[in-house]
Amino acid sequence: MLRDLPLSGVVVVELSDSASAPFAGKILAELGAEVWKVERPSGDSARGWGPSTWKGSGAAFHALNRGKRCISVDIKDQDQLARLHRLIAERADVFIHNLRPGTSAKYGLDADSLRVTKPELVHCEIGAFGHVGPLRTQPGYDPLMQAFSGIMSLTGEEGQPPVRAGVSIIDFGSAMWAVIGVLSALYRRQEKHSGATVSGSLLETALAWMSIGIASYNADGHPGGRHGSGAVFIVPHRAYSTADGDLIVSCANDALFARLCAALGRPEWAADERFTTNQARLRNRAEIDRLIGERLAGESSAHWQELLQEHGIPVAPVQSVADVVAHEQTRELDIIGKPAGDELGVVGLPLSFDGKRPPPLHPAHDIGADNDQLDAALKPPA
């Protein structure tokens, strides 16, 4: 652990499974916190996720759980539960969990119970549908929230079945909000000398990602619709096929659109009343997309990328995972790290401090690998 990282000296106990709380714990570990990951004896569900595995566990588990001490606790066992309570009471600055609704209170791990004896504790819960409302007791996962929140109604191609984002944007987003809440509570604790109860949920995160769609609906009853790789509020702002691939081209204002037209050798498009403003282009989306698409189809992606970049047009190729891992820009950022003695490259913290990114975290440990360190971490019996 680097002593100059922002959370050096902060102790986090993370009772977690799957993705949301583990990702939050990983972020806190990357910021320098000492994180104790608590699993049930059979292990985190992500250990069994596939198809890719590494050293006997799903690659997903390794991506989400580096840099932590791993202990196994059967919270149904009174002795083991008591030791977990001791760990929180004696060591933890932060307790974070994503237990099923109602479970934390059943075992005395809810905020009301823990903060009675430790008022300075920052207690953070990542729920499913939220801590109030008729669905508060229901479990939930990322795709359920993409569906329930309306995200899937705006994702994919018009007239096609609904699709979800290919990555767990709700789980990871919920983790990020949790970390923001925890950091805010730790900051406030310095002045008020008391902790806080931080509550977030998958649904609330999904609704936050729907901010523009909900505002649009409330404004005129039209939240948008499905536009494939495009966006409801900007044209052009989507992928177009070239002679050998696909490019995302984005013109978020009229000046950029005029430069795009000049770069494509079609300056007259910028003067056409159908396309002069973004509002006009929104009304004539199909036609301008057709014209741009026909022009780009005649040359390679590399040709257009170089030309558009020369004109200051935001542009990027649609890459595979292999492409992005191998790309020079990714390598220069040095964000995919391999800890000493471990050859699995995973993405690190997407932040740098004073120009330096925190180093790669140590590999994820086996189930209960650090159980023997728990006794050393606790105060000896009186």
| Separation CA 308–CA 170 (nearest Å) | 33
- Sequence spans of domains, the chain: 11-209+333-377, 237-317
- Cα 133–Cα 15–Cα 105 angle in degrees, nearest 5: 45
How many CA atoms, within 13 angstroms, populate the side-chain half-sphere of residue 336?
15
User: In this predicted structure, what is the pLDDT of residue 1?
Assistant: 41
User: In this predicted structure, what is the pLDDT of residue 378?
Assistant: 85
How many CA atoms, within 13 angstroms, populate the side-chain half-sphere of residue 15?
26
pLDDT band at 2 (very low <50, low <70, confident <90, very high): very low
| Contact indicator for 209, 149 with CB cutoff of 8 Å | yes
Determine the average pLDDT of the residues in 361-368.
Answer: 92
Sequence-distant (6+) residues with CB within 8 A of 348 are 30, 335, 336, 337, 357, 358, 359, 360, 361
What SS3 class is residue 227? coil
User: In this predicted structure, what is the pLDDT of residue 29?
Assistant: 97
Catalytic residues: 171
DSSP state of 247: E
Fold observed for domain 11-209+333-377: Rossmann fold (3.40.50)
| Separation CA 261–CA 18 (nearest Å) | 47
Closest CA to 215 of 233, 193, 196: 233
User: In this predicted structure, what is the pLDDT of residue 3?
Assistant: 54
* pTM recorded for the entire structure: 0.92
| Contact indicator for 315, 303 with CB cutoff of 8 Å | no
How many CA atoms, within 13 angstroms, populate the side-chain half-sphere of residue 206?
29
Instruction: Give the count of beta carbons closer than 10 Å to the beta carbon of residue 361.
Output: 21
* Amino acid at the residue 30: E
Instruction: Give the count of beta carbons closer than 10 Å to the beta carbon of residue 335.
Output: 17
Determine the average pLDDT of the residues in 315-340.
Answer: 93
pLDDT above 70 covers what percent of the chain?
A: 99
pLDDT tens per residue, range 91-105: 999 999 999 888 999
Domain 237-317 classification at class level: alpha beta
**222 pLDDT higher than 90:** no
**381 pLDDT higher than 70:** no
Sequence-distant (6+) residues with CB within 8 A of 4 are 353
**30 pLDDT higher than 80:** yes
Determine the average pLDDT of the residues in 351-363.
Answer: 91
Within the chain, residue ranges assigned H as helices are 20-30, 59-64, 78-91, 103-106, 111-117, 142-148, 169-192, 202-209, 211-220, 254-263, 268-271, 278-283, 285-296, 301-310, 321-326, 328-333, 371-377
pLDDT band at 225 (very low <50, low <70, confident <90, very high): confident
| Contact indicator for 49, 72 with CB cutoff of 8 Å | no
pLDDT tens per residue, range 44-88: 999 999 899 999 899 999 999 999 999 999 999 999 999 999 999
pLDDT tens per residue, range 169-197: 999 999 999 999 999 999 999 988 899 99
Which residues does residue 54 pair with via DSSP β-bridges, in sequence order?
Answer: 57
Residues in the chain: 382
Determine the average pLDDT of the residues in 218-232.
Answer: 88
- From residue 257, alpha-carbon distances to 134, 278, 296, 299 in Å are 47, 9, 15, 20
Burial of 51 (0-12, 13-18, 19+ CB in 10 A): exposed
